[in-house]
Structure 1
Amino acid sequence: MAATIMIVDDSPTMLMSIEGILTKAGMIVVKSENGERALDALKSGTKPALLITDLNMGAMNGIELIRHVRKLPGLQFTPILMLTTESQQDKRNEAKSAGATGWIVKPVDATALVKVIRQLVPGA
């Protein structure tokens, strides 16, 4: 069965781009345009094999989203990738301490993204 990947990004273009890459690689994609919607979906039973979140979003940024996700039952060990234009080490450290599994800097290379996901989610 195909792996379900959740993408959280406030940019419709980025959501569409990442969805295209992952769908082409045979994965199922669930999209959310902000942290609040993603959290609602997760609380309602969406169980992705992996979550990809942007860092800079509106009311809830990616680091805050990760902190909330890590408190949800069954999602404490779900791999979470931070996808962002930011490359500062302090932001990376903050994301890691919040529970991020990895960090990918935009613009993302399609092949590299799929490779990272397949390393984190065997069978994806």
Structure 2
Amino acid sequence: MALRCMIVDDSPRFLAAARGLLEREGLLVVAVATNGAEAIRYAVEAGPDVTLVDINLGEQSGFDVVRRLTREAGLAPSTVILISTHAEEDYAELIAASPAAGFLPKARLSAGAVRALLGSSA
């Protein structure tokens, strides 16, 4: 059974590219959201196995969205992964303090990288 994934990012171009890549590699993208409110709603409706959340969501912080997903939508922290075009070092302290399972640079996004990070958080 395919891993069910939700992607949260404010860039329609990135959402389309990431969805295509992950689905070609065997993940099932069950929802895409462009902001925190959509992410909460879709998390409850779609019940993803893993959620990828961009750190910079325009006016919103991805860190805040992760906290809301774990509190309000009941997602397990071990199923939420932060993503960004920025280097992990730029946000190391915030990532460490976040309830997310970890961080994945957008340039290294792949189904294998997602699975590896989920495996390391279990």
What interval of TM-score do these two structures reach, taking the shorter chain for normalisation? 0.7 to 0.9
Write the deviation string for residues 87-120 of structure 1: whole angstroms up to 9, x where unpaired.
25362321331212121223x235xx22122222
Going from structure 1 to structure 2, the CA distance change for 1:109 and 1:77 (only over 3 Å counts) comes to: closer
TM-score scaled to structure 1, two decimals? 0.80
Give the secondary-structure state (helix, strand or coil) at the position aligned to 1:81.
Answer: strand
Alignment of 1:36-115 (within 5 A): 36-42=37-43, 44-72=44-72, 74-87=74-87, 89=89, 91-106=91-106, 108-110=107-109, 113-115=110-112
Structure 2: give runs of 5+ residues left out of the alignment.
none
AA of the residue aligned to 2:36: G
Q: Which residue of 2 is the match for residue 118 of structure 1?
A: 115
Counterpart contact for 1:92–1:103, Cα < 8 Å: no
1:16 Cα deviation (Å)?
0.8
Normalised by the size of structure 2, how large is the TM-score? 0.81
Pairwise CA distance, 1:50: 0.6
The CA distance in 1 between the partners of 2:24 and 2:88, in whole Å, is 31
The residue aligned with 1:32 is: 33
Partner Cα separation in structure 2 for residue 37 and residue 73 of structure 1: 11
How many residues of Structure 1 are paired with residues of Structure 2 in the alignment?
A: 117
CA RMSD of aligned residues (A): 2.0
Shift of 1:14: 0.6
Q: Cα distance, 1:26 vs. partner?
A: 1.9
Q: Which moved more, 1:6-15 or 1:79-88?
A: 79-88
- Say if 1:10 and 1:58, in contact at 8 Å, map to a contact too: yes
User: Residue 46 of structure 2: SS of its match in structure 1?
Assistant: coil
Structure with the bigger percentage of helix: 2
